[in-house]
């Protein structure tokens, strides 16, 4: 499975749980950590956990190993490590504070609209 396919699976899983403002950044050549960052947010602790849990379940169903999931209990910023794709699931209140899109502003975006619910 390619990194882009893993990204699309994670993005679709987030969308299925009604994640908001889903953004994918191409990190190849910018960060050594991953090829893609997927960033989204939920409006409550329960929704943030549901988004992360949904990503984990869909990844595993598709043979993608979830290396680590951090921050699940606090549900303010959950990091889901899918190897070459790192998903950042924020609580709405935290996303603006950390503003990863601005921090990694030199990273181009990846078009994921084709996998999101129309």
Q: How far apart are CA 77 and CA 52, in angstroms?
A: 10
Q: How far apart are CA 84 and CA 33, in angstroms?
A: 8
State residue 65 phi and psi, 5-degree precision.
-80, 130
The model's pLDDT over 62-113, given as tens digits with 9 standing for 90+, comes to: 999 999 999 999 999 999 999 999 999 999 999 999 998 888 888 899 999 8
Q: What is the mean pLDDT of residues 39-50?
A: 97
Contact by Cβ (8 Å): 13, 55: yes
The CATH topology of domain 3-110 is Beta Polymerase; domain 2 (3.30.460)
pLDDT, residue 104, reads 87
pLDDT, residue 106, reads 85
Is the pLDDT score of 31 beyond 80? yes
């Amino acid at each position: 499975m390619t990194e882009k396919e893993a990204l699309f699976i994670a993005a679709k899983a987030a969308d299925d749980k009604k994640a908001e403002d889903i953004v994918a950044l191409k990190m190849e050549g910018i960060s050594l950590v991953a090829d893609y960052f997927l960033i989204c947010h939920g409006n409550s602790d329960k929704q943030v956990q549901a988004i992360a849990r949904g990503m984990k379940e869909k990844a595993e169903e598709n043979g993608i190993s979830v290396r680590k999931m951090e921050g699940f209990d606090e549900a303010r910023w959950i990091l889901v490590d899918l190897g070459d794709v790192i998903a950042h699931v924020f609580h709405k209140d935290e996303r603006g504070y950390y503003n990863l899109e601005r921090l990694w502003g030199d990273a181009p975006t990846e078009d994921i609209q084709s996998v999101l619910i129309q």
